[in-house]
Structure 1
Amino acid sequence: MKQFFKFVFATIVGLALTFVLLIFLLIGIVSVATSDKPVDVPSNSVLRIALTMPINERTPDNPLAGLSFLGFDDNKTIGLNDILANIRKAKTDSHIKGIFLDESYVQSGQATTEEVRNALIDFKKSGKFIVAYSEIYTQSFYYLASVADKVYMNPKGIFELHGFSSQVMFYKGALDKLGIDMQIIKVGTYKSAVEPFFLTKMSDANRLQVNAYLGSMYDHFLTGISQSRHINKDSLANIANNLLVQNPEDAVKYKLLDGLKYKDELLDELKQRTGTSKKSNVKSVNIADYTKAGDDKDTSDNASSRIAIVYASGEISGGEGDDNTIGSEKLSKTLRQVRLDDNVKAVVLRVNSPGGSSLASDVIWREVLLTKKVKPVIVSMGDYAASGGYYIACAADSIYAEPNTVTGSIGIFAMLPNMQKFFNDKLGLTFDGVKTGKFADLGDVSRPLTEEERMILQNQVNRGYDTFTQAVADGRHKTQAYINSIGQGRVWTGSQAIKIGLVDKLGNINDAVKSAAKKANIKTYSIVPYPEQTSKFKNIGKSLSVEVRAAMVKSELGDNYQYYNQVKQTVQRSGVQMRMPYDVVIK
């Protein structure tokens, strides 16, 4: 009995603590949600940009943003949409004297970084200054910072300039040890998303394409720095190839930096630039908070004519999806919504996707095609618009991409594991049963495919590839034979894609908006984002659970989280896939 009361008491205490914890959490969420007051920007301020969080296409509507709790940090996440809008707003804000690019670890794809960099270059046309400072310059942050009027670093800091590399993790050896044979059905010589499951190293074809598009990205990277820092591109390549920068003094010697300063010296320069007395603090506003400072005057909110920006970000699958994945059901509804809205005069489809489900991609493609028949549809490509991501884009009137956008990968594949040896030899499990038809158990992972079954699946994949290449041929006004010749699963950069006709123009999302307005023959319009983001307080419990799990796994795995996430996504995929070879990680 004594033990019984002990457990009852412990349970009551646990429930009480949980209740109190939830109360504090809800108070925090409410305080964050009700803090949307306009931000007052003092005169002679600097806009501080510190990009330490992953950059999504849109600023998430997250009730946990700003909280420091259970592994979360209190940094506010800001999306690319608000970063670009805020830099544009600061250009004409008389209270903002300049931009301070503070220590950043840019966690974004090459094209996203390119959009921010171009926005900073445009900002400089105002005559206002940009100063960059960091203790550690990664290559991504330095590419961004190189546009600044002055680029400084801590005297004891770390400067990286060593070139690009891209690495693939292969699972074949592990699968062999487990007794699992991954059965591959694909179309496309370069469709290498499946290679990690049946090879132990890159195929010659894959190595060829990776060398090509990585070289294209690197050439653009060097060209940008060369133009900003007025350093010969060949000299930059030599500095990187021979790792000539091994300490901060080397970076100054080769004119990659303008000087070495401690933070207090940097702040003194900012005070001088803003006319602030030495005894006062530099007045600054964080770029995330600056969203609430006034309005972006580049849009006419009262205009009856609208340009809809429809965001398609993440892997493509069936269902509703969420803010970071593309659900064919939700995106199809959104496209129908803007198609039927007479106030929407044109559509910009913002694609940032490596692809995914073949069926889901086709469902979305159909809605893009129908929308184009009613009003202009312009595609703006982000970091990726590959495979299924390119499929949903190819029906548009025109396509914009950044020079370092990863696109193409016109190919298709399916994978089915044969786990017979794993079950039999590793676990001692065997299977037996009955069936009413020859193919009733097609897809059963407890046995290998028969030759006849493999042919059935291969024919399905072949039909899918034929549909894909025909859709691209129709959309791009090319022959199917030509699309097949540049398809085969091969990946291209935006710079390469424009030469072979997969992309129309190099440009950012604002260029796509201007093109849409011109094609719709409208001069005054408002820009409206779609689909509507999830409400702050909808599914808080589910959101908290997902966020807590992710935070815990990330804290344990650190940089290795990318490999865990890659394996997890692979296991969750099913059906025929239109997906680029793998996630490109530029180190």
Structure 2
Amino acid sequence: MRFAHLAQRLFNTPIAIRPEKAEVVMAALADRLGISKMIRVDGTEGALSVGAYLGDEYARAGRDQPEGYSNVAGVAVIQVSGTLVQKLGTLEPYSGMTGYDGLRQNFLTALNDPDVKAIALQIDSPGGEVAGCFDLVDTIFEARGEKPITAILDESAYSAAYAIASAADEIYVPRTGGTGSIGVISMHVDWSKALTDSGVKVTFITYGDRKADGHAEIPLSDEAHANFKADITTMGELFVETVARNRGIAASAVRATQAGTFLGERGVKLGLADAVMPPDAAFQTLLSKLH
């Protein structure tokens, strides 16, 4: 299949992203991935049209960003935008995605740059891949105290993006921006009926009863579903415990959000952010603390 690498990043793998955004990505790539129908867990059918979800937002998400980070009055401004992926191979967001590899390099470079007095993570992202996320989060968290680290939301930080934001010393969210979606999701695509209807029969020859679990060519068995659910639960608990550690709040309180999203002040009241403030005011606040 063409674009098989995209399918591997979307299906049968845990991703920390808002469900609506997952549908948007699927809708955008449906033709390329050979998807003709999208069914939600509740049985309703999802639209396979990007325009039905976004209007021109998808194109806006692909806007170019400055290379690496910008040093603004001694503050390294690192962009965290679009869908987050483990390896993008660039220092800057590209084609609507930001790579954890680039973020790590930018962060560590800024941390060791004598001309940088503080680091600002400028975040506007619905989240992305679980792989690589929590290692990056730990790197940022463990650097606390070396230089001030501030997450400035412009406009929202959800799921994996919120995990990154939570590692900062402080989080500022605009009144129309959001925090949360502290959860993990995995999507399984079942092509078995489509293959049968087209006269194609796929036979798996395996060693190990679970070797073919999750393959799109066969229905997802109850046993396979239970195994994947256990993995998702483990990763979800890792997410909860990480946010609880980073934000200094009880894990039970984080878990009680049930992966919900919260605008502006609601997120602050839950301890997911420190103050409601537009990005420019948040940056000025950071600058004032350096002098």
Q: Which residue of 2 aligns with 1:516?
A: 286
The reply to whether residue 384 of structure 1 matches residue 156 of structure 2 is yes
Q: Counterparts of 1:179 and 1:314 in 2: how far apart (Å)?
A: 25
Q: Which residue of 1 aligns with 2:110?
A: 338
Q: Which residue of 1 aligns with 2:43?
A: 199
Q: Which residue of 2 aligns with 1:309?
A: 77
Q: Which residue of 1 aligns with 2:11?
A: none
Greater Rg by CA: 1
- Give the SS at the match of 1:354: strand
8 Å contact kept, 1:181–1:419? no
Q: How does 1:63-212 map to 2 (within 5 A)?
A: 196=40, 198-200=42-44
The reply to whether residue 409 of structure 1 matches residue 181 of structure 2 is yes
1:428 pairs, out of 199, 204, 209, with 199
Q: How does 1:522-533 map to 2 (within 5 A)?
A: 522-523=290-291
Q: Counterparts of 2:44 and 2:203 in 1: how far apart (Å)?
A: 33
Q: Given the superposition, is the C-alpha separation of residues 515 and 181 from structure 1 closer, same or farther in structure 2, using an over 3 Å criterion?
A: closer
Give me the identity figure in percent.
24
Shift of 1:341: 1.6
- Give the SS at the match of 1:413: coil
1:318 pairs, out of 62, 86, 90, with 86
Q: Which residue of 2 aligns with 1:395?
A: 167
Q: Counterparts of 2:278 and 2:244 in 1: how far apart (Å)?
A: 24
Q: Counterparts of 2:269 and 2:174 in 1: how far apart (Å)?
A: 13
Shift of 1:200: 2.2
Per-residue Cα deviation, 1:17-54 (whole angstroms, up to 9, x for no partner): xxxxxxxxxxxxxxxxxxxxxxxxxxxxxxxxxxxxxx
Q: Which residue of 1 aligns with 2:20?
A: none
The letter of the residue matching 2:278 is N
Shift of 1:496: 1.5
1:478 pairs, out of 222, 235, 249, with 249
- Please state which structure has a larger fraction of its residues in helix: 1
8 Å contact kept, 1:385–1:408? yes
The letter of the residue matching 1:383 is E
- Give the SS at the match of 1:372: coil
1:349 pairs, out of 115, 118, 121, with 121
Q: Counterparts of 2:81 and 2:140 in 1: how far apart (Å)?
A: 15
- Give the SS at the match of 1:412: coil
Shift of 1:501: 1.5
Q: Counterparts of 1:472 and 1:363 in 2: how far apart (Å)?
A: 13
Shift of 1:198: 4.3
- Give the SS at the match of 1:423: helix
Q: Counterparts of 1:198 and 1:475 in 2: how far apart (Å)?
A: 34
Q: Given the superposition, is the C-alpha separation of residues 409 and 433 from structure 1 closer, same or farther in structure 2, using an over 3 Å criterion?
A: closer
Q: Given the superposition, is the C-alpha separation of residues 474 and 433 from structure 1 closer, same or farther in structure 2, using an over 3 Å criterion?
A: closer
The letter of the residue matching 1:508 is P
- Give the SS at the match of 1:334: helix
Q: Taking structure 1 as the reference length, what is the TM-score of the superposition?
A: 0.37
Q: Which residue of 2 aligns with 1:366?
A: 138
Shift of 1:498: 1.5
- Give the SS at the match of 2:152: strand
Question: Aligned-pair RMSD on alpha carbons?
Answer: 2.8
- Give the SS at the match of 2:205: coil
8 Å contact kept, 2:244–2:250? yes
Shift of 1:345: 1.4
8 Å contact kept, 2:204–2:212? no
Q: Counterparts of 2:200 and 2:190 in 1: how far apart (Å)?
A: 14
The letter of the residue matching 2:83 is E
8 Å contact kept, 1:347–1:377? yes
- Give the SS at the match of 2:117: strand
Q: Taking structure 2 as the reference length, what is the TM-score of the superposition?
A: 0.72
Shift of 1:446: 0.7
Q: Counterparts of 2:179 and 2:36 in 1: how far apart (Å)?
A: 35
8 Å contact kept, 1:411–1:465? yes
Q: Given the superposition, is the C-alpha separation of residues 432 and 181 from structure 1 closer, same or farther in structure 2, using an over 3 Å criterion?
A: farther
Shift of 1:384: 2.0
The reply to whether residue 444 of structure 1 matches residue 215 of structure 2 is yes
The letter of the residue matching 1:314 is G
Q: Given the superposition, is the C-alpha separation of residues 410 and 431 from structure 1 closer, same or farther in structure 2, using an over 3 Å criterion?
A: same
Shift of 1:338: 0.8
Q: Counterparts of 1:317 and 1:326 in 2: how far apart (Å)?
A: 6
The count of residues paired between Structure 1 and Structure 2 equals 234
8 Å contact kept, 1:332–1:363? no
Shift of 1:376: 1.0
Q: Given the superposition, is the C-alpha separation of residues 328 and 179 from structure 1 closer, same or farther in structure 2, using an over 3 Å criterion?
A: closer
Q: Given the superposition, is the C-alpha separation of residues 514 and 181 from structure 1 closer, same or farther in structure 2, using an over 3 Å criterion?
A: closer
2:274 pairs, out of 497, 501, 504, with 504
8 Å contact kept, 1:384–1:406? yes
Q: Counterparts of 1:469 and 1:341 in 2: how far apart (Å)?
A: 32
Shift of 1:518: 4.4
Shift of 1:197: 5.6
Q: Given the superposition, is the C-alpha separation of residues 411 and 351 from structure 1 closer, same or farther in structure 2, using an over 3 Å criterion?
A: same
Q: Which residue of 2 aligns with 1:491?
A: 261
Shift of 1:509: 2.5
Shift of 1:490: 0.8
Shift of 1:402: 0.5
